[in-house]
Amino acid sequence: MSRIKACFDRLKKEGRGALLPYLEAFDPDRETSLALLRQMPEAGADLIEVGVPFSDPSADGPTIQLAAQRGLKAGATLKGVLDLIHEFRKENDHTPIILMGYYNPIDRYGVERFCKDARAADVDGLIVVDLPPEESEELAPYARAEGLDMITLTAPTTPDDRLKAILKDASGFVYYVSITGITGTRSATEDQLKAAMTRLKAATDLPVVAGFGISTPEQARIASRISDGAVVASAIIKDMAATYDEHGHATAKSLPTALDKIRSLAKAVRG
Amino acid sequence: MPADTSITSQLNSLRTGPDERGHFGIHGGRFVAETLMPLMLELEKAYNHAKTDPQFQEELDYYLRHYVGRPSPLWHAKRLSETLGGAQIYLKREELNHTGSHKLNNVMGQILLARRMGKTRIVAETGAGQHGVATATVCALFGLECEIYMGATDVERQKPNVFRMHLLGAKVHPVTAGAGTLKDAMNEAMRDWVANVENTYFLVGTVAGPHPYPAMVRDFQSIIGTEAREQIQEQTGRLPDAVIAAIGGGSNAMGIFHPFLDDADVPLYGVEAAGLGLDSGKTAASIARGKPGVLHGNRTYLLQDDHGQITEAHSISAGLDYPGIGPEHSWLNDIGRVNYVSATDQQALEAFQTLTRLEGIIPALESAHAVAHAIVMAPTMKKDQTIIVNLSGRGDKDVPTVAAHLGVKL
């Protein structure tokens, strides 16, 4: 059984939703992001989204955009991110890792080679922001062949008939972009989220997680109850980035700050 | 159209692209986040409907004639031709359009579409500010809210256009991310759009972006080539021996090329901005120095590093300062129908001055790249041969930049 499925099955038994914190690989440097990745499960991460830095993250807000720039400055490459996950796996074999990024670095790397290497690094799922179902056949067959879940994105703008069509072949879980907007800006209301989940659950049996605009423990608690999990990205990065020195380098406070934020989110999700 | 010309001529035509999913060969497509995908499908439907609606075409024709000022003249640049001593150069005078460039052709088409779709708020990206000014202009004309995203570097080097946009009632957002040029403005405009999808129309200024933008912008700009093709035949009795246009995203070039694509004997030249030189690392020549990749909704030639990170473009001309190119150009390059060449900043500066002195026409620095290639080509051709150069914009906006390069303090 895949790590993703095992994880959601276990949480279902526990009667709660998942917490999916996000980290931008190599932000602000490789060692810090590896240390954060390693300590995230103990702080309460059920699944982890690892962002692959890209020069032009047009679906992301300023917080993730700046994190990506720091990551690139620290030397992040797609290969480097896979190596990071490979190192993480030496100590952790159960926490699902989902790579999140844009298509061009994968395209340049070569889709087939990338899927093989991602499998070898024990990645579990892929979210490619700018690869909608209409274009996903470029990547999906290779991902499937390597047992990688291609996580389907859905949005408030996705009509019901389209939901059914694009979720037909979805695997792993479904990611609901809960606002029309970029990451780390506004938030969906409880009612909006509830209405969306009704639509989504009618179209898929897979777990559905909500992301974009979830920043406080209370928002994470609500989202993880209405859906099957809450993704928190910008809020963690923002707190952590506030601890960097004037050169954008990590300080002694950086790691504890990010982990504290994850702990408070995890507590709310479990509470 | 008589029935017998349809099937075979369409099969042999280079003008029927893209396919139904927006692909030109391996290029094009719709690489956008799911939030935008339903909008792209809606836009495609609305455009397909408008395209075949005679009322839409009538309305567009009305505004093109009485507001934009079409048709634009085709001017035989005799002094320039004589001085170069070779082919006769004809200038397609797109700089005489209202707002001073070819940009209004496309903007007028899209604004009428946006109105049909019931959108009340317009966002647009701009490089040199020509597209921003054109967009702000039609928003003033139709009373629509207008938000323009422009790289902070470009805001600095195109001050006259920024002020024009303010006067026209648009809000100009300087974008400081990246190098603060067109690529960054495009990212920011997409962010605005995704956050305001309900009432907002994204008015793309070039033949790039997700399907249907490349095809739609091309269709609206094709009036340039349709007119030029008729005008050159009226004036010389035959088709030209070359057509030259400058390329950033490539809308003025696609507009003049497209009606000539099936004239196999007419060579077409797209002039990329070489910047400080193709191998200087400071260039905007995406075809000459880029590789196919995916950015801003389409696959096309992109300036990028080995890891798929997009690199900064450089050109003296803000309108050409973009690391990509429209996907149809990439395809026309792959199949060899269009010759993609380049001109440096220095060549463009010289061409800017040459045309001004010999013809009394101050070209935009973008268009000066096309003129620069004509200056190279014309002397190698015979005196009875002809070249059409698309003079896509006027250079008033570039006077401060040129003065600075020439060491003149204004």
Closest-CA distance of chain B to residue A58, Å: 5
Q: Which residue of A has its CA nearest to B296?
A: A58
Q: What is the mean pLDDT of residues A146-160?
A: 96
Strands, sheet with B145-151, edge to edge from the N-terminal-most edge strand = B171-175, B145-151, B121-126, B200-202
| DSSP calls for chain A | --HHHHHHHHHHHHT--EEEEEEETTSS-HHHHHHHHHHHHHHT-SSEEEE---S--TTS-HHHHHHHHHHHHTT--HHHHHHHHHHHHTT-SSS-EEEEE-HHHHHHH-HHHHHHHHHHTT--EEEETT--TTTGGGTHHHHHHTT-EEPEEE-TT--HHHHHHHHTT--S-EEEE-SSS-TTS----HHHHHHHHHHHHTT-SS-EEEESS--SHHHHHHHHHHSSEEEE-HHHHHHHHTTS-TTS---TTHHHHHHHHHHHHHHHHH-
B87 SS3 class? coil
Residues A162, B38: C-beta atoms closer than 8 Å: yes
B70-100+222-405 topology per CATH: Rossmann fold (3.40.50)
A78 band by pLDDT with thresholds 50, 70 and 90: very high
pLDDT at position A215 over 50:
yes
Q: Which residue of A has its CA nearest to B28?
A: A135
Which pLDDT tens digit goes with each residue over B1-55?
444 444 445 568 999 999 999 999 999 999 999 999 999 999 999 999 999 999 9
What ranges do the domains of chain B cover? 24-65+103-217, 70-100+222-405
Contact indicator for A174, A197 with CB cutoff of 8 Å: no
Parent domain of A104 = 3-270
Which of A61, A104, A155 is closest, CB to CB, to B295? A104
How far apart (Å, rounded) are the C-alpha atoms in residues B326 and B306? 21
How far apart (Å, rounded) are the C-alpha atoms in residues A25 and A97? 12
| The residue to which tokens 């397609």 are assigned | B92
Number of domains in chain A: 1
**∠ CA B223-B161-B36, rounded to 5°:** 65
How far apart (Å, rounded) are the C-alpha atoms in residues A96 and A122? 9
| DSSP calls for B162-230 | HHHHHHTTPEEEEE-STTSSHHHHHHHHHHHHHHSTTTEEE---SS-SSTTHHHHHHHHHTHHHHHHHH
Contact indicator for B124, B149 with CB cutoff of 8 Å: yes
Residue type, A48: I
B183 vs A contacts (CB less than 8 Å): 56
The domains spanning B24-65+103-217 and B70-100+222-405 adopt the same CATH topology:
yes
Closest-CA distance of chain B to residue A157, Å: 6
Closest-CA distance of chain A to residue B245, Å: 28
Which pLDDT tens digit goes with each residue over B239-270?
999 999 999 999 999 999 999 999 999 999 99
Strands, sheet with B23-24, edge to edge from the N-terminal-most edge strand = B23-24, B27-31, B297-302, B291-295
Residues A182, B191: C-beta atoms closer than 8 Å: yes
B29 vs A contacts (CB less than 8 Å): 134-135
Q: What percentage of chain A carries pLDDT values higher than 70?
A: 100
Residues 147-166 of A with CB under 8 A from B: 153-159, 162, 166
Task: Tell me the pLDDT of chain B (410 aa) as tens digits.
Answer: 444 444 445 568 999 999 999 999 999 999 999 999 999 999 999 999 999 999 999 999 999 999 999 999 999 999 999 999 999 999 999 999 999 999 999 999 999 999 999 999 999 999 889 999 999 999 999 999 999 999 998 898 888 899 999 999 999 999 998 778 888 898 899 889 988 988 999 999 999 999 999 999 999 999 999 999 999 999 999 999 999 999 999 999 999 999 999 999 999 999 999 999 999 999 999 999 999 999 999 999 999 999 999 999 999 998 898 999 999 999 999 999 999 999 999 999 999 999 999 999 999 999 999 999 999 999 999 999 999 999 999 999 899 999 999 999 98
Contact indicator for B159, B133 with CB cutoff of 8 Å: no
Beta-strand pair B200-202/B291-295: unpaired
- Whether residue B198 lies in the annotated active site: no
How far apart (Å, rounded) are the C-alpha atoms in residues B175 and B172? 9
A135 vs B contacts (CB less than 8 Å): 29-31
Total CB pairs under 8 A between chain A and B: 118
Chain B contacts to A (CB-CB under 8 A): 21, 29-39, 177-178, 183, 186-187, 190-191, 194-198, 291, 293-297, 299, 302, 304, 306-311
* CA-based nearest residue to B217, from B249, B244, B193: B249
- Helix or strand holding residue B46 (H, E): helix B37-51
Residues 6+ apart with CB under 8 A from B44: B211, B212
How far apart (Å, rounded) are the C-alpha atoms in residues B201 and B124? 9
CATH of the domain at A127: 3.20.20.70
Which two three-digit tokens encode residue B191?
């962010």
| DSSP calls for B355-395 | HHHHHS--B-HHHHHHHHHHHHHGGGS-TT-EEEEEE-BBS
Q: How would you label A12-51 residue by residue, b for 16+ Cβ within 10 Å and e otherwise?
A: eeeebbbbbbbbbbbbbbbebbbbbbeebbebbbbbbbbb
Q: Does A223 touch chain B (CB under 8 A)?
A: no
Here the ipTM equals 0.95
**Arch. (CATH architecture) of B24-65+103-217:** 3-Layer(aba) Sandwich (3.40)
Helices B345-359 and B365-377 cross at an angle (nearest 10°) of 80
How far apart (Å, rounded) are the C-alpha atoms in residues A101 and A78? 10
How far apart (Å, rounded) are the C-alpha atoms in residues B161 and B155? 8
A192 vs B contacts (CB less than 8 Å): none
Which of A59, A106, A134 is closest, CB to CB, to B194? A59
Residues B293, A108: C-beta atoms closer than 8 Å: yes
pLDDT of amino acid B126 = 94
* CA-based nearest residue to B303, from B322, B277, B319, B328: B322
pLDDT of amino acid B3 = 44
A122 band by pLDDT with thresholds 50, 70 and 90: very high
Residues B178, A55: C-beta atoms closer than 8 Å: yes
pLDDT of amino acid B5 = 45
pLDDT of amino acid B1 = 41
Residues A56, B310: C-beta atoms closer than 8 Å: yes
B295 vs A contacts (CB less than 8 Å): 56, 104
